[in-house]
Amino acid sequence: RQADVECRIVVLGSGPGGYTAAFRAADLGLDTVLIERYATLGGVCLNVGCIPSKALLHAAEVIDQASHASDYGVDFGAPTIDLDKLRGYKNKVVGQLTKGLTGMAKQRKVRVVTGEGLFVSPNEIEVTGADGKTQLVRFEQCIIAAGSQALKLPGFPWDDPRVMDSTDALELAETPKKLLVVGGGIIGLEMATVYHALGSEVTVVELADQLMPGADKDLVKPLADRLKKQGVSTHLKTKVVEAKAAKAGIEVTFDGESIPDTKIFDRVLVAVGRTPNGGKIAAGNAGVRVSERGFIAVDAQMRTNVPHIFAIGDLVGQPMLAHKATHEGKLAAEVAAGEKKEWVARVIPSVAYTDPEIAWVGITETEAKAKGLKVGVGKFPWAASGRAIGIGRTEGFTKLIFDEATHRIVGAGIVGVHAGDLIAEAALAIEMGAEVADIGHTIHPHPTLSESVAMAAEVFDGTITDLY
């Protein structure tokens, strides 16, 4: 069969991994095709992930700030929320970015083929459009970037619109009076923050013994305390046993210590993780091995077991984060173009854009302990930061974790407003092999929250002064 489209390299999926790979490949002079099943580029992150969630979290932050402004004599009164307008704002933000990608693809002469792509051979993908028409794309090299989707926990009545995954929750169909969030990880808690601010009575249940599993417990505490103060009820070591659609709501039965056996909710958001799309692209026809769970194994150059086919992003493994996908996308495109490169990044930061934000990078204290590593910790409480006091947010802290023998920074954790922005400095320090003193000796602007990073370095030295 004759190919409808021929190219040097094809990228399957246009999320942060895919569009970065396609743009990089084009910039390096490769004739590039980008296949995407949806009408807009950008994947989960731009359309139904990072970007819309942060637009809504911005609104939540403003609502919260306005409600606390009376502390310093400014009273805005109770907020009135126009859900249609808020949804419109979120859609506008998403639209601006996805349109931008379309423009950038055109500029680079990346040809976009719209439709669902399935491998038919090691050098061909058949793309079926919404109208059922097919196009055969023939390529010399391929980068698989088909991403992941929300895990639909079995046992929930998924055909009922009151049961939502994160994509549904971002639609903002209504503000439910009572919302249950199943899963106290990053996505669950970000959406809990949004819906609480909009006026829902929010309950969060989490199977593990702490919210945000993976982060150090001390980092999570200020968030847990604030949620409690706000009236968001959280239940750890709690499992949903059954969820039934009833007229009055979704009837949920729990197995847990501090929650009644059965409760009725107007809506339920299930945010228990994501599952890779590796098993849904007929990868076998190209000879690409896919694990039972749908992950595709790659080497340090992002190559699959088939040397001319690369894979990147959520479907190659944890952490499922946009900036990891982007980094991998760039790397795969460069290797495909003949550059002699491999994965050299030491760390990938994680951020929960909750209120307060929680950010961590490198090794956690919990991991260091489990591995028996000898580490020291410099910790600076924001209660001693002039800036944090000025904005009324002293619950945060910054900690640096360093190798006791070399004093090199190996990890960091920050909880507090803008923690996500602040953690980048620690990531740079780890990448550069910086010692704690390197940060301590760097002059940080005053009065900023970034000073807390320098102060954490100085607390370890025992040289903390009254800088604020």
Site for ligand FAD in 383-402 (CB under 6 A): none
Contact range with ligand FAD by CB under 6 A, out of 34-42, 230-238, 240-248, 389-397: 34-42
Which x/- pattern over 37-76 shows residues binding ligand FAD (rule: CB under 6 A)? xx----xxx---xx--x-----------------------
Check: CB of residue 365 under 8 Å from CB of residue 419. Answer: no
In the complex, the smallest distance separating the C-beta of residue 322 from ligand FAD, rounded to whole angstroms, is 3
Q: Which of 9, 15, 359, 455 binds ligand FAD (CB under 6 A)?
A: 15
Q: Which of 9, 17, 279, 298 binds ligand FAD (CB under 6 A)?
A: 17
In the complex, the smallest distance separating the C-beta of residue 19 from ligand FAD, rounded to whole angstroms, is 8
Q: Which of 325, 417, 429, 459 binds ligand FAD (CB under 6 A)?
A: 325
Tokens describing residue 413:
């954790």
Q: How many angstroms separate the CA atoms of 48 and 223, rounded?
A: 24
Cα distances (angstroms) measured from residue 39 to each of 46, 96, 395: 13, 14, 43
Neighbouring C-alpha atoms within 13 Å toward the C-beta of 98: 24
Residue 31: closest CA among 11, 56, 48, 7:
7
In the complex, the smallest distance separating the C-beta of residue 320 from ligand FAD, rounded to whole angstroms, is 4
Q: Given the complex with ligand FAD, which of 193 and 385 has the nearer CB atom?
A: 193
Is residue 418 among the annotated active site residues?
no
In the complex, the smallest distance separating the C-beta of residue 91 from ligand FAD, rounded to whole angstroms, is 15
Q: Does 216 bind ligand FAD (CB under 6 A)?
A: no
Site for ligand FAD in 169-188 (CB under 6 A): 187
Class of residue 429 by CB neighbours under 10 A (exposed 0-12, middle 13-18, buried 19+): buried
In the complex, the smallest distance separating the C-beta of residue 139 from ligand FAD, rounded to whole angstroms, is 14
| 8-state DSSP, 260 | -
Q: Which of 10, 14, 362, 378 binds ligand FAD (CB under 6 A)?
A: 14
In the complex, the smallest distance separating the C-beta of residue 127 from ligand FAD, rounded to whole angstroms, is 7
Q: Is 199 left (phi over 0), alpha (psi -120 to 50) or beta?
A: left
In the complex, the smallest distance separating the C-beta of residue 353 from ligand FAD, rounded to whole angstroms, is 6
Which x/- pattern over 277-306 shows residues binding ligand FAD (rule: CB under 6 A)? x---x-------------------------
Residue 138, classed as helix, strand or coil, is strand
Contact range with ligand FAD by CB under 6 A, out of 8-16, 202-210, 384-392, 439-447: 8-16
Residue 187, classed as helix, strand or coil, is helix
Residue 313's beta-bridge partner residues? none
Q: Given the complex with ligand FAD, which of 417 and 434 has the nearer CB atom?
A: 417
Q: Does 33 bind ligand FAD (CB under 6 A)?
A: no
Residue 361's beta-bridge partner residues? 412
Q: Given the complex with ligand FAD, which of 49 and 416 has the nearer CB atom?
A: 49
Q: Given the complex with ligand FAD, which of 317 and 447 has the nearer CB atom?
A: 317
Q: Given the complex with ligand FAD, which of 11 and 250 has the nearer CB atom?
A: 11
Q: Given the complex with ligand FAD, which of 238 and 277 has the nearer CB atom?
A: 277
In the complex, the smallest distance separating the C-beta of residue 76 from ligand FAD, rounded to whole angstroms, is 28
Check: CB of residue 307 under 8 Å from CB of residue 295. Answer: no
Q: Given the complex with ligand FAD, which of 197 and 436 has the nearer CB atom?
A: 197
In the complex, the smallest distance separating the C-beta of residue 349 from ligand FAD, rounded to whole angstroms, is 9
Q: How many angstroms separate the CA atoms of 341 and 393, rounded?
A: 43
Residue 327: closest CA among 185, 108, 93, 145:
145
According to the 3-state scheme, what is the secondary structure of 51-81? Answer: HHHHHHHHHHHHHHHHHHHHHHCCCCCCCCC
According to the 3-state scheme, what is the secondary structure of 288-345? Answer: CCCCCCCCCCCCCCCECCCCCEEECHHHHCCCCCHHHHHHHHHHHHHHHCCCCCCCCC
Which x/- pattern over 133-162 shows residues binding ligand FAD (rule: CB under 6 A)? ------------xxxx--------------
Residue 114's beta-bridge partner residues? 36
Q: Given the complex with ligand FAD, which of 30 and 322 has the nearer CB atom?
A: 322
Q: Given the complex with ligand FAD, which of 145 and 430 has the nearer CB atom?
A: 145
Q: Does 22 bind ligand FAD (CB under 6 A)?
A: no
Q: Which residues are within 8 A (CB) of 244 and not within 5 positions of it... i.e. 6 or more apart? A: 157, 250, 251, 252
State phi, psi for 408 to the nearest 5 degrees: -75, 140
Check: CB of residue 118 under 8 Å from CB of residue 125. Answer: yes
Q: DSSP letters along 381-440, please?
A: EGGG-HHHHHTT-TT-EEEEEEETTT-BEEEEEEEETTHHHHHHHHHHHHHTT-BHHHHH
Q: Which residues bind ligand FAD (CB under 6 A)?
A: 12-18, 35-38, 43-45, 49-50, 53, 116-117, 145-148, 166, 187, 277, 281, 313-314, 320-323, 325, 353
Give catalytic residue positions. 446
